[in-house]
Amino acid sequence: MILLQVIVGGLLIGAVYALFSSGLTLIWGMMNVINFAHGEFVMLGMYVAFWAFTLAAFGPASFSALAAVLLFILGVIVYLALIRHVMRGPMLSQILATFGLLLLLRYAAFWAFSPNFVTLPEGLVGPNLDIGGILLSAPKLASGIVAILLTTGMHLLLTRTAIGSQILAVAEDPRAAMLMGIRPDRMQAIAWGLAGASAGIAGALIATFFPISPTVGESLALIAFVVVTLGGFGSVPGAMIAGLIVGLIESVSAFYCGPVYQDVFVYGLFVLILWVRPHGLLGKA
């Protein structure tokens, strides 16, 4: 029963990993831009949740929506002010630009919020739940369910709507899309906004059960890169599957071998799968 509880908990965490990784895989697959600051977007979503609750007593639904809106706007601003300019240069300039953005956001958070860890109240979402003998954390359960719904919603947005079709068309061939009357610049800005919104919501969800600090984005960014590479570049369903796998491996390995060794198993499986499938689980060869 304890093992089953660990497995369910790992899958719930993995669903949140999938949510913030889906934004990274969207812009990576669409524009071939590696956003090293993606973890900092999640960190800012966590701070939005904390301060919205602290200053205005917002509940989880309200501060998650606020984080989505603010990080969507930030994503669009970053694209218009920085990314669309460095995209014209070599890959190295893109890497250095997003790494510089990472440092800017991280040290701005140090300046604005201090390096101290802060947390939201433990019972904000609700008490722990006993479901069939499985004891589950209410924040993790709510976060996992919401994350699964939102990641599925992003996939449906990309595959079942007109704007999603335009985003995918730009990802496939920007020049051909332009000939069809689609504005690549606009679609890429929307993609960055969606990536920021997914990171913001994920950050707000994580903040309900995880300590918040300016450096938390570092570990989350590493997880996002593992999930995106493992799932396949540009594949939201791949990010979902990979996120669940990573969350499951983390929980089970921490249960059997201790938390200090969980990364060994995650990155070991990561290397093994890429050895067999270099393009990821659902990526195109």
Give the CATH number for residue 270.
Answer: 1.10.3470
> Taking the mean position of all CA atoms in its chain, how far away is CA 67?
13
- Extract the residue ranges of the chain whose pLDDT is less than 50: none
CB 164 within 8 A of CB 157: yes
Residue 285 pLDDT: 60
The DSSP call for residue 259 is: G
Cβ atoms within 10 Å, residue 133: 9
CB 199 within 8 A of CB 42: yes
Domain count for the chain: 1
Residue 284 lies in a domain: no
Q: How far is CA 240 from CA 37, 58, 147, in A?
A: 21, 29, 10
CA 235 – CA 218 distance, rounded (Å): 23
Residue 10 lies in a domain: yes
CA 120 – CA 144 distance, rounded (Å): 18
Residue 283 lies in a domain: no
Residue 279 pLDDT: 78
CB 191 within 8 A of CB 36: no
Residue 119 lies in a domain: yes
Domain range for 187: 2-276
DSSP-derived 3-state class of residue 181: coil
Q: pLDDT, tens digit, for every residue of 87-127? A: 887 888 888 999 999 999 999 999 999 999 999 988 788 77
Residue 209 lies in a domain: yes
Residue 284 pLDDT: 65
Instruction: Provide the Cα torsion 101, 104, 110, 112; round to 10°.
Output: -110
Residue 125 pLDDT: 80
Cβ atoms within 10 Å, residue 211: 13
CB 235 within 8 A of CB 25: yes
Cβ atoms within 10 Å, residue 272: 10
Kindly provide the residue ranges of all beta strands, DSSP E only, lying in 57-195, ordered along the sequence: 129-131, 134-136
What six digits make up the tokens of 175?
A: 């020049």
Residue 281 lies in a domain: no
CB 20 within 8 A of CB 191: no
CB 273 within 8 A of CB 281: yes
Residue 258 lies in a domain: yes
Residue 207 pLDDT: 94
Residue 152 lies in a domain: yes
Residue 198 pLDDT: 95
Instruction: Provide the Cα torsion 8, 12, 15, 17; round to 10°.
Output: -110
Instruction: Provide the Cα torsion 201, 193, 151, 131; round to 10°.
Output: 10
Kindly provide the residue ranges of all beta strands, DSSP E only, lying in 45-193, ordered along the sequence: 129-131, 134-136
